[in-house]
Amino acid sequence: MKAINSMKLQFEGRSVNESFSRTAVAAFVAQLDPTIEEISDIKTAVSEAVTNCIVHAYRHKLGVVYITANILPDSHVVIKIRDKGCGIPDIPKAMEPMYTSAPEEERAGLGFAVMQSLMDKVKVTSKEGKGTTVVLERSIRCKEA
Ligand SMILES: Nc1ncnc2c1ncn2[C@@H]1O[C@H](COP(=O)(O)OP(=O)(O)O)[C@@H](O)[C@H]1O
Ligand SMILES: [Mg+2]
């Protein structure tokens, strides 16, 4: 479906940029006049996906994180978060609640579970050694006039 509006963002995968990225996406989505809860849900989901790029995809190295956000008709928001990192060998396993490949870093393994609970749709594609794309979709409920 053709986007009504879109934006692209790319930044270095440093922890300090995580809050920048979620705030930037929230500022873009703000044009749909979302509720505070909707904005908060989107920020949390983006934050989880971006954190995964920084801590898992580019483990022990620095890489670039790419975000695109599209607004489709009926206030439907599609956000893609992409990295060119290590990739995910087994996506269903990675998405299981409580699974983490980094227990020594005290990761809870709940990032994907949180994204799925807050978004209408979460899609993950990945290629080992090439990178991962997470697509988050959420409809913004139109406030009554
Ligand atoms: N962008 C990514 N690149 C590589 N591996 C990832 C990526 N995102 C998630 N993973 C893998 O999926 C697992 C589960 O992710 P998540 O549910 O966010 O839990 P956590 O980050 O606490 O480990 C991670 O431990 C990691 O192995
Ligand atoms: Mg995580």
With a 6 Å cutoff on the Cβ, whether 27 touches ligand 1 is: no
* Model confidence pLDDT, tens digit, residues 97-108: 999 999 888 789
pLDDT confidence band for 141 (50 / 70 / 90): confident
Q: Which of 46-50, 56-60, 96-100, 106-110 has the lowest mean pLDDT?
A: 106-110
Task: Assess whether 37 carries a catalytic annotation.
Answer: no
Atom of ligand 1 nearest to the CA of 81: 1
Closest ligand to Cα 97: 1
pLDDT at 94: 97
pTM of the model: 0.95
Structure-token pair, residue 38: 């909707």
Structure-token pair, residue 13: 């995968």
* Model confidence pLDDT, tens digit, residues 113-132: 999 999 999 999 999 999 99
pLDDT at 91: 98
For residue 54, how far is its CA from the centre of ligand 1 (angstroms)?
A: 10
Atom of ligand 1 nearest to the CA of 110: 17
For atom 24 of ligand 1, the residue with the nearest CA is 100
Q: Report, as an integer, the average pLDDT of 46-51.
A: 98
The residue that leads in pLDDT, 55 or 104, is 55
